């Protein structure tokens, strides 16, 4: 794959550091005006742009081990740039691949709610607004003015806090059109993580931490060259921009499906 | 759908896909127009004969 | 009372009986309309769909009615392009059934989308790379073609035909019907295929994903082929049900047999291709993504390997072998079994390619998601069935749907004499109740 993007914004999540506290989920919801219901326990109906999964290695005590895995939108590039599973299927061009940033956008006022993109996404990163958003009295005053709230009947998903990129770009433009610095564009979840498990930046830029951490092989679909790094469902060819780090082998194996003769590792069991 | 839509690009995908669509629509349109006009002419002829 | 509208030379039940029947089916229709309005006004929270089941009962219903409605384009192709004249006795009914199926599909789609008022975006802001765009375009265009094919039949109504313009219009449309049929076949090939492509292109879903040629996954061709194969079976099935209900022979055996024979060979070739496709997918495609076949068919309450056996062996090879043999086609029970199995088979295939795709977990720490529809989804899915029954009943009563009906069911007095009788004097009350 040719590396023809100006930027390739991506995320590295260190699963050895993640404590599963859920700060990233909360920060994301507050930042992006994500609507919620009175009862959020049914995760098949609630909207969580960032969702933390809990994995375990399926072994009995004392060998039992768990891992929390935060899952934002993977901002897939696909086998050729822009051929994300969801972007290629949207009939109304309501989701688009940013050729400048590598970020997959969602145009809420264009989406007519066919949900084909949700069917195409193996990560379940896309959510449908089954209800109109209802904010508790007074809470509408706390909504972020930079992110448009969504209406019933459309799909939404993590945007890597794209409005922050726009604000940072505006500022840089006013400062004479200079390049963005690494710390000028950071997602809400990255900043909220108390364990510093999430790192965000430009995978194309060798000076950015994300690049140094995973050493993406941009000639080969962005595969990580760091042996401790992996991406979810690498084998499907989705080419995600979210990388995970772990020193534990069973977690790295949990990132993808393997035939029995490929990996003798027992598959982990999911809880919540 | 139309070249004036802002997302329209003159590429192979749009040319082939929309070409096929407009081709089908044109055939249907011409076919129906022919049927309707001919029916109107036939009907007026018959009426004319009847009146005379 | 309405005898002036009823085609000459055929018997129809009394008007009160007809209205009673329409009323009864109408209640079911209204139930569906109520559910439809609930979905439109309150939103899709009226359904049991969720973020794992973005596609569910409705999308299956769409795919299924379009598959079984494929009888219209394929029969039209055989009749008008390949010149199979025997089929002229069933083509009207095939078109009517197709018209019902396609209008139903469009209606269900209009309910299924989250923002129905923005439905036109799919045309206006079309993404030409999406299979769904191709489906929407070809489906709408083909619905137009079906309307054009159905219109001459409406114009043949005794009273409408008296208007010279309509008489000539119907005649002219008949004259160039081959052009419309060819356009319809062209459009059908693409939208039936694109519906297959909808699942086949999902490279993030190893259960659905298939390799293919150029931009078309194998499911593209399999869906077109299966619709052409099983669609005529549905046409025959509905014809046979209509014959049972009306207690009349409506279509000559030679037409049914020819269609059944062609359908049989189509099913056989399709199911061989489907077997090869399944084999390749199970041994090459899925393993390359890290999945074994049995992972798709275990650890859940519904989707066992039985579904593959039912679809391919029971609902594929069995109807094919019945319909390709003369003995099978001559055996009425055999034909009934074959056409019912074929229709179930194609519907099962569509179910699997929509619902099971959603159910299978892809991430290793994910889980199977099962779903059952809400009553609103069920009611809106039954709605088109009720609408179809009503449209068939009205068409059968007032339009010459079956050209051979009068010939095969002579009434007393003989048709020639009956034509001379004033419509108001027709002995309505003495007729055998025959309407459905």
In tens, the pLDDT along C217-243 reads: 999 999 999 999 999 999 999 999 999
CA atoms within 13 A on the CB side of C319: 33
- The band of C214, judged by pLDDT with boundaries at 50, 70 and 90, is confident
pLDDT at A260: 86
Encode C178-195 in three state secondary structure. HHHHHHHHHHHHHHHHHH
Whether residue A236 lies within 8 A of chain C, CB to CB, comes out as yes
**Which of B12-16, C267-271, C400-404 has the highest mean predicted lDDT (pLDDT)?**
C267-271
Contact list in B for residue C164 (CB cut-off 8 A) is 42-43, 46-47
In a domain, A197, yes or no: yes
The C-alpha of C216 sits at a distance from chain B's nearest C-alpha, in angstroms, of 13
Q: Residue C428: pLDDT band by 50, 70, 90 thresholds?
A: very low
Residue B8's pLDDT is 82
* Confidence band of C424 (pLDDT split at 50, 70, 90): very low
Chains touching B, CB cut-off 8 Å, 3+ pairs: C
pLDDT category of residue B50 using cuts at 50, 70 and 90 = low
Q: CB distance B1–C123 less than 8 Å?
A: yes
pLDDT tops 70 at residue C426: no
Give the per-residue pLDDT at B47. Answer: 65
Residue in chain C nearest A124 by alpha carbon:
C52
Q: Answer whether residue C417 shows pLDDT above 80.
A: no
pLDDT (0 to 100) of residue A271? 52
Please name the chains neighbouring C, where neighbouring means 3+ C-beta pairs under 8 angstroms: A, B
- The structure tokens 């002229």 sit at C88
**Is it the case that residue C144 has pLDDT exceeding 70?**
yes
- CA geometry: angle at A105 spanning A103 and A108, to 5°? 165
> pLDDT at residue C378 above 80?
yes
Chain C residue numbers touching A80 (CB-CB < 8 A): none
* Selected residue of C80, C168, C176, C179 to mutate for chain B interface (largest B Cβ count, 10 A): C168
CA–CA dist A213, A206 (Å, integer): 10
Spatial contact of C354 and C207, defined as CB atoms under 8 Å apart: no
User: Residue C367 phi/psi, 5° resolution?
Assistant: -135, 160
Interface touch B42/C190, C-beta < 8 Å: no
Q: Indicate if the pLDDT at residue A29 is higher than 80.
A: yes
Q: Tell whether A152 is covered by a domain.
A: yes
pLDDT one-digit tens code per residue, C273-330? 999 999 999 999 999 999 999 999 999 999 999 999 999 999 999 999 999 999 999 9
Residues C65-103: tens digit of each pLDDT: 999 999 999 999 999 889 898 898 999 999 999 999 999
Structural domains of chain A, count: 1
Omega within 30 of 0 (cis) for the link into C342:
no
In a domain, A203, yes or no: yes
Instruction: Write the DSSP string, C326-360.
Output: HHHHH-HHHHHHHHHHHHHHHHHHHHIIIIIHHHS
User: b or e along C360-384 (b: 16 or more beta carbons within 10 Å of the residue's beta carbon)?
Assistant: bbbbbbeeebebebbebbbbbbbbb
pLDDT in tens, C149-171: 999 999 999 999 999 999 999 99
- A95 sits in which H/E element: strand A95-97
Tokens 């359904």 -> residue: C47
- The whole-number average pLDDT for the span A145-170 is 96
Cβ of A119 and C205 within 8 Å? Answer: yes
Does the pLDDT value for residue C431 go beyond 50?
no
A to C CB pairs, distance under 8 Å:
168
Helices (H), A52-99: 85-89
| Rounded-to-integer distance, Cα A35 and Cα C122, Å | 26
Residue C173: which of B18, B35, B43 has the nearest Cβ? B35
Chain A residues 178-217 with CB within 8 Å of chain C: none
Residue C90 CA to residue C81 CA, distance in Å, equals: 15
Q: Which of C258, C240, C252 is nearest to C407 (CA)?
A: C252
Is a pLDDT exceeding 90 seen at residue C348?
A: yes
Q: For the domain bounded by C52-366+400-425, which CATH number is listed?
A: 1.20.1630.10
pLDDT averaged over every residue in chain C: 91
Long-range contacts of C277-282 (CB under 8 A, 24+ apart): C277/C210, C277/C218, C277/C219, C277/C222, C278/C308, C278/C312, C281/C210
Q: What is the pLDDT, as a whole number, of residue B12?
A: 84
pLDDT over threshold 50, residue A239: yes
pLDDT value of position C171: 92
Does B28 touch chain C if contact means CB atoms closer than 8 Å? yes
Domain assignment of residue A39, yes or no: yes
Query: Could you give the CA distance from residue C15 to residue C6 in angstroms, rounded to a whole number?
Result: 11
Mutate to test the interface with C, among B32, B34, B51 (most CBs of C within 10 A): B32
Mean pLDDT of C191-207: 94
Question: For residue A221, what pLDDT is reported?
Answer: 86
* C364 to A89: CB separation less than 8 angstroms, yes or no: no
CATH for A225? 3.30.70.20
Question: Is A4 a member of any domain?
Answer: no
- Nearest CA distance, B28 vs chain C (angstrom): 7
Tell me, what's the pLDDT at A220?
Answer: 85
Give the pLDDT of residue C429.
41
pLDDT tens per residue, range A101-137 = 999 999 999 999 999 999 999 999 999 999 999 999 9
Question: What does the mean pLDDT of chain A come to?
Answer: 92
Q: Which domain holds residue A53?
A: 9-270
How much is the average pLDDT of C24-33? 97
The fraction of chain A above a pLDDT of 90, given in percent, is: 87
Is there a contact between C131 and C201 (Cβ–Cβ < 8 Å)? yes
| Residues paired with residue C217 on neighbouring β-strands, in sequence order | C212
Give the ipTM.
0.91
A19 lies within 8 A of chain C by CB: no
Please answer yes or no on whether C125 and B7 come within 8 Å at the CB atom. Answer: yes
User: Does any domain span residue A1?
Assistant: no
Give the pLDDT confidence score for residue C414 in this predicted structure.
Answer: 52
Given a cut of 80, whether residue A2 has pLDDT beyond it is no
Find the closest chain C residue to B1 by CA distance: C124
| pLDDT (tens digit per residue) in A51-99 | 999 999 999 999 999 999 999 999 999 988 899 999 999 999 999 999 9
| C317 in contact with B, Cβ within 8 Å | no
When scoring A72, A89, A269 by the number of chain C Cβ atoms within 10 A, the one with the most, hence best to mutate, is A89
Report the range of poorest mean pLDDT among A18-22, A35-39, B7-11.
B7-11
Exposure b/e, C31-63, CB count within 10 A at least 16 = b: bbbebbebbeeebbbbbbbbbbbbbbbbbbbbb
Contacts of A234 (CB under 8 A, 6+ apart): A223, A240, A255, A256
For an interface test with B, the pick among C140, C149, C164 (most B C-beta atoms closer than 10 Å) comes out as C164
């Amino acid at each position: 794959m040719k590396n023809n993007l100006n930027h390739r914004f991506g995320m590295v999540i260190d699963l050895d550091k993640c404590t599963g506290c859920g700060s990233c989920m909360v920060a994301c919801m507050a930042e992006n005006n994500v609507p919620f219901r009175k009862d959020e326990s049914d995760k098949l109906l609630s909207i969580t742009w960032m969702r933390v999964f809990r994995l375990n290695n399926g072994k009995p005590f004392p060998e039992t081990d768990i891992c929390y895995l935060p899952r934002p939108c993977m901002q897939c590039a696909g086998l050729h740039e822009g051929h994300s599973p969801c972007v290629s299927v949207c009939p109304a061009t309501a989701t688009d691949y940013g050729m400048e940033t590598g970020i997959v956008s969602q145009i809420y006022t264009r989406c007519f709610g066919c949900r084909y993109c949700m069917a195409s996404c193996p990560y379940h990163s896309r959510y449908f607004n089954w209800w109109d958003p209802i904010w508790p009295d007074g809470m509408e005053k706390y909504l972020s003015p930079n992110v448009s709230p969504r209406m019933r009947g459309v799909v939404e998903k993590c945007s890597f806090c794209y409005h922050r990129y726009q604000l940072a770009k505006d500022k840089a433009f006013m400062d004479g059109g200079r390049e963005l610095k690494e710390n000028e564009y950071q997602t809400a979840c990255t900043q909220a993580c108390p364990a510093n498990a999430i790192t965000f930046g430009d995978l194309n830029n060798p000076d950015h931490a994300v690049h140094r951490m995973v050493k993406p092989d941009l000639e080969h679909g962005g595969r990580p060259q760091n042996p401790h790094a992996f991406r979810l469902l690498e084998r499907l060819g989705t080419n995600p921009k979210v990388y995970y780090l772990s020193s534990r082998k069973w977690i790295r194996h949990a990132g993808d499906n393997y035939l029995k003769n490929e990996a003798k590792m027992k598959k982990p069991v999911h809880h919540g | 759908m139309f070249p004036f839509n802002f997302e329209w690009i003159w590429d192979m995908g749009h040319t082939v896909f929309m070409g096929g669509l407009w081709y089908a629509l044109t055939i249907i349109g011409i076919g129906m127009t022919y049927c309707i006009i001919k029916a109107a002419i036939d009907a007026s002829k018959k009426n004319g004969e009847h009146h005379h | 009372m309405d005898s002036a509208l009823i085609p000459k030379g055929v018997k129809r039940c009394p008007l009160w009986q007809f209205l009673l029947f329409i009323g009864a089916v109408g209640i079911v229709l209204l139930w569906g309309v109520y559910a439809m309005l609930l979905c439109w006004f309150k939103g899709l929270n009226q359904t049991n769909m969720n973020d794992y089941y973005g596609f569910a009962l409705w999308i299956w219903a769409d795919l299924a009615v379009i598959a079984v409605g494929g009888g219209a384009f394929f029969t039209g192709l055989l009749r008008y392009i390949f010149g199979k004249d025997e089929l002229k006795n069933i083509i009207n009914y095939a078109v009517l059934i197709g018209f019902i199926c396609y209008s139903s599909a469009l209606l269900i789609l209009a309910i299924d989308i989250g923002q129905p008022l923005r439905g036109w975006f799919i045309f206006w802001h079309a993404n030409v790379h999406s299979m769904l765009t191709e489906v929407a375009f070809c489906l709408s265009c083909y619905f137009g073609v079906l309307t054009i094919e159905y219109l001459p039949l409406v114009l043949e109504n005794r009273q409408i035909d008296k208007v010279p313009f309509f008489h000539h219009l119907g005649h002219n449309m008949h004259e160039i019907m081959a052009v419309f049929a060819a356009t319809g076949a062209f459009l059908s090939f693409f939208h039936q295929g694109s519906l297959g492509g909808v699942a086949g292109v999902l490279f993030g879903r190893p259960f659905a994903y298939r390799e293919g040629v150029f931009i078309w996954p194998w499911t593209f061709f399999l869906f077109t082929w299966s619709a052409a194969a099983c669609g005529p079976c549905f046409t025959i099935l509905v014809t046979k049900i209509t014959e049972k209900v009306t207690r009349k022979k409506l279509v000559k055996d030679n037409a049914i047999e020819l269609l059944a024979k062609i359908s049989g060979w189509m099913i056989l070739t399709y199911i061989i291709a489907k077997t090869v496709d399944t084999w390749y997918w199970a041994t090459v495609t899925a393993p390359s993504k890290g999945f074994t076949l049995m992972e798709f068919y275990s650890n859940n309450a519904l989707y066992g390997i039985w579904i593959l056996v039912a679809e391919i062996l029971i609902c594929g090879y069995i109807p094919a072998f019945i319909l390709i043999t003369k003995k099978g086609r001559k055996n009425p029970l055999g034909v009934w079994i074959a056409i019912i199995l074929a229709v179930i088979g194609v519907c099962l295939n569509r179910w699997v390619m929509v619902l099971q795709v959603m159910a299978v977990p892809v991430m290793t720490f994910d889980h199977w998601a099962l779903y059952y529809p809400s009553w609103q989804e069920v009611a809106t899915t039954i709605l088109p069935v009720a609408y179809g029954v009503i449209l068939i009943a009205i068409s059968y009563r007032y339009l010459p749907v079956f050209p051979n009906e009068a010939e095969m069911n002579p009434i007393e007095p003989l048709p020639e004499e009956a034509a001379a009788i004033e419509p108001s004097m027709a002995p309505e009350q003495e007729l055998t109740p025959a309407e459905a």
